[in-house]
Amino acid sequence: MSNEAFADHLGVAVRTVAGWHSKPDVTPRSEMQDALDTALERASDRAKARFAQLVVPPVATEADSAQALRVAIAVVVNDSDEVLIVCRRGEDGAGISWQFPAGMVKPGVSPETVAVRETLGETGVHCVVTRSLGSRLHPITKVFCEYVLCEYLTGEAQNMDVVENVSVVWIDKTKLTRFIPAQQIFPPILEALEVPGE
């Protein structure tokens, strides 16, 4: 939208929207942030995808010395409509949470490469990325996550990383929310797996 159209959409003055462009570090008042959050929630999937691309942290170049922490997360599905999940070991040695295979994205490496490599390293499963599911700042870990949908190729699922994981299993996608609460799952994952949110 243009500044004028977006201002009209939010019911604010055009100068307010123009001010956000000229001072992008300004934090909106809580009422305005609520209006912006509501506008994003009501936006089309295409608009949400464009917004997600705009808020991606910059990838470090050779001249940069640091990069924001990013994690690639693989949502691997097989021909039996099962999804691959791992049970992460807590710092106290106990299994604390079921998650999708994931790994840290280092500078110069694509999230797709990391997702495929970490899935193989953690589970013994070979997969291929079919498409991106988007990205978000994880609501619990506060780490920037990039999600990819993957197709199973070959390999028997097994716990290949006993230091990090307690278990690795294939589960029917309809039972996913028994392992991971629906409110913690990135909504595009539920949509891609055709699993209703709770």
The end-to-end CA distance of the chain, in Å, is: 32
* Sign of the torsion angle spanned by Cα atoms 155, 158, 159, 165: positive
Is this prediction's pTM over 0.75?
A: no
Pick the CATH number of 70-193 from 3.30.950.10, 3.40.1390.10, 3.90.79.10, 3.90.480.20: 3.90.79.10
- Could you tell me the pLDDT band of residue 38, with boundaries at 50, 70 and 90? confident
The residues spanned by each domain of the chain are 3-42, 70-193
Strands 126-137 and 82-89, bridge-based pairing:
unpaired
Q: What is the mean pLDDT of the chain?
A: 83
**Spatial distance between the Cα atoms of 87 and 105, rounded to a whole number of angstroms:** 20
- What letter does residue 56 receive in the DSSP assignment? S
Highest mean predicted confidence (pLDDT) among 123-127, 180-184, 194-198: 123-127
Query: Does the pLDDT at position 55 exceed 70?
Result: no
* pLDDT at residue 21, as a whole number: 66
Query: Does the pLDDT at position 175 exceed 60?
Result: yes
For 105-133, what is the mean pLDDT? 94
